[in-house]
Amino acid sequence: MYPGAGFYSGRMARHYRKKERKVIIEFRPSRRATAHGGQMAVNALANEMGLWKRIAGESSLDGRKHKGKGYDPAVYIAALVFNFTNGGSSLADAERLDDDEALKSLLGVRKIPDQSAIGEWLRGVSDEGLETLRQIVRDVAQWSMQRAQPARLLHGGQLEGFFDDTQIEVDGKRFEGAKLNYEGKVALSWQTLWVGPFLVDATLGSPSETKEPVSSDEPGNDVSSQLPRMLERNAYLWKDYESYLYADSASSAGKYLESIDRHFKHWSVSYNKWTSPLERCAEELGEIAWSEPRTMRWRDGSDHIAQHAWLRYQPSGCEKTKLFAVTRHKKTEGELFWRYAFIACDERGSTPLRAIERHKLKGDKERAFSDLLSDFDLHHPPCMSLRANEVFYLLGALAFNLLQALKLIYLPVEHQPKRIRTLLHHLLLIPVEIKHHARQLKACFYAPAGWVCWWRSFLGELLQANRHYQSRAPA
């Protein structure tokens, strides 16, 4: 024993080791237990907002000739929604829900259709049915925004919007609508409009060979082409709020700046196309127009001297001049000439630096979009049919909005930053055992001891207004 060991041994923590134990493993098939008990909360929320009744009343979603046979549209939609909120990503994953008898009992579904039947329904949705689904996605978002605490929904008192697309790369040319995009890859383009944390509108279609139109007054063939129509049909969602829209350079053509300015009180758009006239105007600004020089760490990790100024210019396609916040910058060492960066913005900004800093928050919106694609694995379209894939992606947006509503309305403040993957793993994967009592079903939740009180409060608040459920404390 080394000197002093006896003195320190009394003050040391206990020794914790990993010790292997002999475990007897036994498998038993069960129709009474499921690991996905948290789906009861998703189903209860859908009932609270009247989602299933709404779907049942939409004849455009039902292509059956004999309404008394086969699956109701609500069964197909429920299968895909619960597939997404269970962490599934394919039609085969949705089919496997049929093996979980306890989950089907909780959700009120006797049988889940197989992937062939789901695919056939996806392909058979009409144009009218597609627009109905878009409206349902918007209505779910509006219902949720009306019930959310303003502090959780708004940023600086403003309801923020975000318009962007992503390229869904596919293998082979058999996918309907897939074409070579501006990066030379076979892909589909998913164009989306976000309001607050909700995805309220989306279109899946063919990409273009160029990301932006050739000139600022021409319509784009990619993301920007959908912007005016999306803003027009969704404007009611933000009309009662102070609003702000972020968009990237694909939406910077003059005609799109006009559309954005008509629909949003505040906005900013990246402007890195057709910049030659702006650069000439910036070079002609007097020194008094520029802010004090600042040393900033640039994106490439080097130190730059940067200054900011306002600039007014009328892009082709605009009815009047637009305001631009311009940054001129160069490396602190080794560069003689200024480089310029521009954003187009509304005319209510206080300083160009504040306008530029606000626009940088677009990165948070882009990360949320990336999280949705990763957490629901929407990088892989399930069908060759473009219509089937577009309906599938809309239902992904519907499932995403339901989970966002759960978080925004019911979860405590410390859980608001959690992403969808965390909700799937820690909120919805809760073991439940089903017990039959006379004509009633009793669901016994097996939550970790430290979370029992929280789960009881959470489900009690969510389910108390729903006559199909009753929350009880254990005896």
Query: How far from chain centre, in Å, is Cα 47?
Result: 22
**How far from the centroid of its chain's Cα atoms is residue 81's Cα?**
14
**Cβ contact 188:170 at 8 Å:** yes
Would you state the pLDDT for residue 146? 96
State the DSSP H helix or E strand holding residue 35, giving kind and residue range, or none if neither.
none
438 Cβ neighbours under 8 A, 6+ residues apart: none
The two three-digit tokens of residue 100, written as one number:
């979980």
Site of tokens 């349902």: 136
Both tokens of residue 437? Answer: 């009592």
Structure tokens given for 387: 């219509």
| pLDDT recorded at residue 289 | 94
Predicted pLDDT at 342: 96
Q: Would residue 371 count as lying in a domain? A: no
Where in 212-364 does DSSP place strands (E)? 242-247, 266-271, 294-297, 303-313, 322-331, 339-345
pLDDT value at residue 350: 81
Phi, psi of 186 (to 5 degrees): -75, 125
Among candidate residues 375, 379, 403, 406, the one with its CA nearest the CA of residue 392: 379
CB neighbour list of residue 23: distance below 8 Å, 6 or more residues apart: none
pLDDT of amino acid 291: 94
Residues 385, 122 contacting (CB under 8 angstroms): yes
Residue 292 lies in a domain: no
Residue 227 placed within a domain: no
Which residues does 132 contact at the CB level (< 8 Å), separation at least 6? Answer: 58, 60, 61
Residue 474, in any domain of the structure? yes
pLDDT digits (tens, 9 = 90+) for 122-145: 999 999 999 999 999 999 999 999
How many Cα neighbours within 13 Å face the side chain of 384?
4
Residue 17 structural domain: 1-155+377-475
pLDDT of residue 474: 46
In degrees, to the nearest 5, what angle opens at C-alpha 365 toward C-alphas 362 and 369?
Answer: 140
Q: At what angle do helices 115-124 and 73-85 cross, to 10 degrees?
A: 110
Please state the domain count of the chain: 1
Please give the span between the terminal C-alpha atoms of the chain, in angstroms, as a whole number: 54
**Is 242 in contact with 265 (CB distance < 8 Å)?**
yes
DSSP secondary structure of 209-256 = SSSS-SSTTSPPSSGGGGHHHHHHHHGGGTTTSEEEEEE-GGG-SHHH
Nearest to 349 by CA among 339, 340, 359: 359
Q: How far apart are CA 38 and CA 34, in angstroms?
A: 10
291 Cβ contact partners less than 8 Å away, ≥ 6 residues apart: 307, 308, 309, 351, 352, 353
- Walking along the chain (475 residues) 10 residues at a time, the average pLDDT comes out as 50 76 64 77 90 94 85 95 91 92 86 95 96 97 96 94 92 82 85 96 81 58 78 96 93 91 95 91 94 89 92 91 94 89 87 94 94 91 94 97 92 81 76 73 73 71 58 48
Assigned domain for 107 exists: yes
Q: How far apart are CA 140 and CA 196, in angstroms?
A: 13
Centre a 10 Å sphere on the Cβ of residue 278 and count the other Cβ atoms it contains.
Answer: 19
| Residues 201 and 193: beta-carbon distance below 8 Å | yes
Evaluated on CA atoms 227, 228, 229, 232, the torsion sign reads positive
Is residue 239 domain-resident? no
Provide the 8-state DSSP code for 409.
I
Does 453 fall in a domain?
A: yes
pLDDT for the residue numbered 410:
85
Give the separation between CA 145 and CA 153, rounded to whole angstroms: 7
**Sole residue written with tokens 């910058």:** 329
Do 95 and 82 touch, CB atoms closer than 8 A?
no
DSSP β-bridge partners for residue 322: 313
* Domain-located, residue 288: no
What would the two tokens of residue 337 be? 């000439």
Q: Which long-range contacts (CB under 8 A, 24 or more apart) does 59-67 make?
A: 60/126, 60/128, 60/129, 60/131, 60/132, 61/125, 61/129, 61/132, 61/133, 63/121, 63/124, 63/125, 63/126, 63/129
